[in-house]
C-alpha cells in the first residue's frame, strides 16, 4: 500500500502533471497488471508500459512522485515496483561522500 502520509496536499498544482501523462490514453492494465500475472507475460507488459513512459513529457515528475509516496503497484515513471524498491533501499553513497568531502575542508 502506498504511504498516504507522503502524498502531496490536495492542491491542484501537485497533481496536474498527471493530465499530461501519456498513460491517460492507454488501457490502465498496461501499467497495472493483475496480481496473478507472472513471468514473461508480466515482463512483456511492463516493457510495453515503459515504452509509453519513455515518450512521456512528465516522466521525471511521475517518477519523483512514485518514489516519494512509495507507490507499491504498477509502472510509474518508467520504473516497475521492483526497480523502485531497489532504488529506495540501495545504500546512499553520494551524500556520505559529500559529507566526508565537506568535513575535510
Considering the rule CB under 6 A, would residue 79 count as an interface residue with ligand SF4?
no
DSSP one-letter code for 34 = -
Q: Given candidates 23, 45, 80, 84, which one binds ligand SF4 under the rule CB under 6 A?
A: 23
Q: How far apart are CA 87 and CA 45, in angstroms?
A: 21
Residue 83 CB-half CA count within 13 A = 13
Measure the CA–CA gap between 21 and 29, rounded to whole angstroms: 15
List the x/- string, 39-78, binding to ligand SF4 by CB under 6 A: -------------xx--x-xx--x------------xxxx
Judged by the rule CB under 6 A, the positions of this chain that interact with ligand SF4 are 21-23, 31, 52-53, 56, 58-59, 62, 75-78
Amino acid at each position: 500500500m502506498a504511504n498516504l502520509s507522503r502524498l502531496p496536499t490536495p492542491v491542484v498544482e501537485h497533481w496536474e502533471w498527471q493530465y499530461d501523462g501519456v498513460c491517460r490514453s492507454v488501457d490502465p492494465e498496461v501499467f497495472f497488471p493483475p496480481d496473478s500475472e507472472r513471468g514473461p507475460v508480466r515482463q512483456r507488459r511492463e516493457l510495453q508500459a515503459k515504452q509509453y513512459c519513455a515518450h512521456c513529457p512528465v516522466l521525471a515528475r511521475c517518477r519523483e512522485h512514485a518514489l516519494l509516496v512509495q507507490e507499491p503497484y504498477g509502472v510509474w515513471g518508467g520504473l516497475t515496483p521492483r526497480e523502485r524498491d531497489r532504488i529506495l533501499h540501495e545504500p546512499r553513497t553520494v551524500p556520505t561522500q559529500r559529507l566526508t568531502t565537506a568535513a575535510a575542508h
